[in-house]
Amino acid sequence: MTDGAPRILYLNRRDIAAVGGDESELYVAALADGLAQHAEGKTVQPLKPYLRASGNHIADRIIAMPAHVGDPGMSGLKWIGSKHDNPERVGRERASAIIVLNDPSTNYPVALLEGNLISAWRTAAVSALAARHLARDGFTDVALIGCGVIGSTQVTALLQQFGQIETVHLFDVRPEAADALATRIKDEHEVNVVVADSAEAAVRAGDIVVPCTVTDTPYIHSDWLKRGSLLCNVSIMDVHKDVFLNADKVIVDDWEQSNREKKIINQLVLEGSFSRERLHAELGEIVAGRKPGRETDDEVIVLNPMGMAVEDIACAAEIYRRAVAQQVGTWLDLY
Ligand SMILES: NC(=O)c1ccc[n+]([C@@H]2O[C@H](COP(=O)([O-])OP(=O)(O)OC[C@H]3O[C@@H](n4cnc5c(N)ncnc54)[C@H](O)[C@@H]3O)[C@@H](O)[C@H]2O)c1
């Protein structure tokens, strides 16, 4: 900014990809730092409000996700909309988002970024980072239920981060979605892909199990999970209560964010069968080395990642820094 007039850097999807925002490495590194800062109390993250103005589906909403990360760090907001039927009705991704970054020294906005690419990759990177600490050493099989944008990014991030993966098991209520993802994975990676006949068949095969559906009706039972498996409960409502009650360790990204909105953990707390005391850890505590991750090959571990604004802002801040350094993006005058 040469004349002191306020400007913001606008970064669309192509700009974000140009600085490394379309693969897992940037996100895993930014999250390892951001989650450790969260564990050390160096973040500010108000509870996110859900705006539900139209539609009755659980995935029809707009969520405001503000956070501050680091010192002096960066502040910002992800504003993420969703309509469950966008893919069939208007031929667009279910979710859409923008991220605003604010310079904490003035609180002026400094950047506006397309947010859905970042959101999908940071969600995938949470699972990949969690797998470093929580998956069984030498795991080989990944099960994905729900083969949309979030699911396909999850599998891609795991394949990028873990060369040891031998087989990916896919299931989707729309077989064409599973088939399309199977073709893409086989084209891009040297790995076996099995399109399963049922969610149960896929889950039973997975060392890492990742539900990424838009369901509000649980269908995964605890006895479907292999001993030694890690369940990354990305779409939150897929698992029956017994999955939490029978797991050896339950981990969340943030307890306050997880224990609300009538999600399964919140239902268990209200019924008196789960509590903060029964929680093993928040993920940041494990990443920061303050609590152990997996301790035996036999444990069944459930990670419940509600999705945190801290993650979005940590990743978007790194993308912004790279874009400024590499002169990528379009400056827009505010006045
Ligand atoms: N935890 C987080 O941080 C986080 C972040 C982003 C998105 N999400 C969640 O991820 C989920 C997926 O998002 P998306 O953008 O990929 O949606 P999407 O609509 O693109 O894909 C969802 C897929 O799931 C399939 N599906 C729906 N119900 C199913 C069921 N019962 N069994 C099997 N397959 C089923 C659909 O056919 C579709 O292919 C959403 O629930 C979203 O809220 C979580």
Test site for ligand 1: of 171, 212, 215, most ligand atoms within 8 A of the Cβ: 212
The predicted pLDDT at position 1 comes to 45
Q: If you take atom 21 of ligand 1, which residue's CA is the nearest one?
A: 148
Q: Assess whether the region 7-118+310-333 and the region 134-307 belong to the same CATH fold.
A: no
Q: What number does the ligand 1 atom closest to the CA of 86 have?
A: 19
319 lines ligand 1 (CB under 6 A): no
Separation of CA 157 and ligand 1 centre (Å): 16
Instruction: Return the active site residues.
Output: 78
Instruction: Sort 259 into a burial class: Cβ within 10 Å, 0-12 / 13-18 / 19+.
Output: buried
User: How many whole angstroms separate alpha carbon 249 and alpha carbon 241?
Assistant: 14
pLDDT cut 90: percent of the chain above it: 97
User: At the top level of CATH, which class does the domain 7-118+310-333 belong to?
Assistant: alpha beta
- What are 7's strand-pairing partners? 333
Is it true that the peptide bond before 175 is cis, omega within 30 degrees of 0?
Answer: no
pLDDT digits (tens, 9 = 90+) for 16-26: 999 999 999 99
81 lines ligand 1 (CB under 6 A): no
* Residues contacting 41, CB < 8 A, separation 6+: none
pLDDT cut 70: percent of the chain above it: 99
Look at residues 201, 206, 114 and name the one whose alpha carbon lies nearest to residue 155.
Answer: 206
- What are 209's strand-pairing partners? 143, 231
Mean pLDDT of 229-241: 97
The predicted pLDDT at position 3 comes to 59
Separation of CA 191 and ligand 1 centre (Å): 23
Q: Where are the domains of the chain?
A: 7-118+310-333, 134-307
Asked if 65 contacts 312 with a C-beta cutoff of 8 angstroms, the reply is yes
Asked if 181 contacts 147 with a C-beta cutoff of 8 angstroms, the reply is yes
Within its chain, how far is the Cα of 233 from the centroid?
Answer: 10
User: How many whole angstroms separate alpha carbon 305 and alpha carbon 226?
Assistant: 20
The number of beta carbons lying within 10 Å of the beta carbon of residue 291 is: 17
pTM beyond 0.85, yes or no: yes
pLDDT digits (tens, 9 = 90+) for 63-112: 999 999 999 999 999 999 999 999 999 999 999 999 999 999 999 999 99
Mean pLDDT of 44-66: 95
**Residue appearing with tokens 């947010």:** 115
Test site for ligand 1: of 50, 169, 213, 303, most ligand atoms within 8 A of the Cβ: 213
- Mean pLDDT estimate for the chain: 97
For 326, the 3-state DSSP assignment is helix
pLDDT digits (tens, 9 = 90+) for 283-321: 999 999 999 999 999 999 999 999 999 999 999 999 999
The predicted pLDDT at position 2 comes to 47
Q: Looking at the predicted structure, is the pLDDT value of residue 33 above 60?
A: yes
| Token pair for 103 | 């310079």
178 lines ligand 1 (CB under 6 A): no
151 lines ligand 1 (CB under 6 A): yes
**DSSP states of 175-196 as a string?**
HHHHHHHHHHHHHHSSSEEEE-
**Residue appearing with tokens 């970024």:** 113
177 lines ligand 1 (CB under 6 A): yes
Q: Looking at the predicted structure, is the pLDDT value of residue 254 above 90?
A: yes
115 lines ligand 1 (CB under 6 A): no
Mean pLDDT of 322-327: 98
Separation of CA 147 and ligand 1 centre (Å): 7
199 lines ligand 1 (CB under 6 A): yes
pLDDT digits (tens, 9 = 90+) for 2-13: 458 999 999 999
pLDDT digits (tens, 9 = 90+) for 257-272: 999 988 999 999 999 9
Pick the CATH number of 134-307 from 3.40.50.720, 3.30.70.260, 3.90.25.10, 3.40.640.10: 3.40.50.720
If you count DSSP H runs as helices and E runs as strands, how many of each does the chain have, helices first?
A: 12, 16
| Amino acid identity at 172 | D
